[in-house]
Amino acid sequence: MASDLTQGYIRHPSEIPTQISLCSRSAFSHNTESSSGNIGVSLYTDHFYAIGTALEIRIRLTETDFIASGHVAWCIPERDGRFRTGLVFDDPDTAYAVRMIEQVCHIEQYRKEVEQREGRHLSQEDAASEWILRYAKDFPTLDSHTHP
């Protein structure tokens, strides 16, 4: 059942740190109908969050943090005590930005893996070129998200 829930979500690389915090309802309103076609992100959290909980995700890859607000679509306990949590984003512009930043996260993870595994040091541009050739075609699109 867990794999059914997580299907269609972009799996955030666990090597790229995120900060998750509660988001006030006044700053974020979740609309289940509009979120059904938008992108979702699957990531590990240290806490259980009820479905519908408004959360803010913060990702730092450069000097500037990327911040987006979404709501919990599902939260599955893992054996290690953490939770695999699915976030969806109502606003199409936010969903697009999340998809773009997740691609950057996957490219950075790829760059680090190549350096560790093969000893090759890739620039961000070279890593992006290689990653795009190998993996971009399989990266979820905005219309591939399935709402459980």
Domain residue ranges in the chain = 2-138
Q: pLDDT tens digit string along 33-57?
A: 444 455 789 999 999 999 999 999 9
Q: CA 82, 21, 70 angle in degrees (round to 5)?
A: 95
Mean per-residue pLDDT over the chain, rounded: 84
Task: Determine the angle formed by the axes of helices 124-135 and 92-118, rounding to 10 degrees.
Answer: 100
Query: What residue spans of the chain are helical by DSSP H?
Result: 2-6, 32-35, 92-118, 124-135
pLDDT at 142 over 90: no
pLDDT at 145 over 90: no
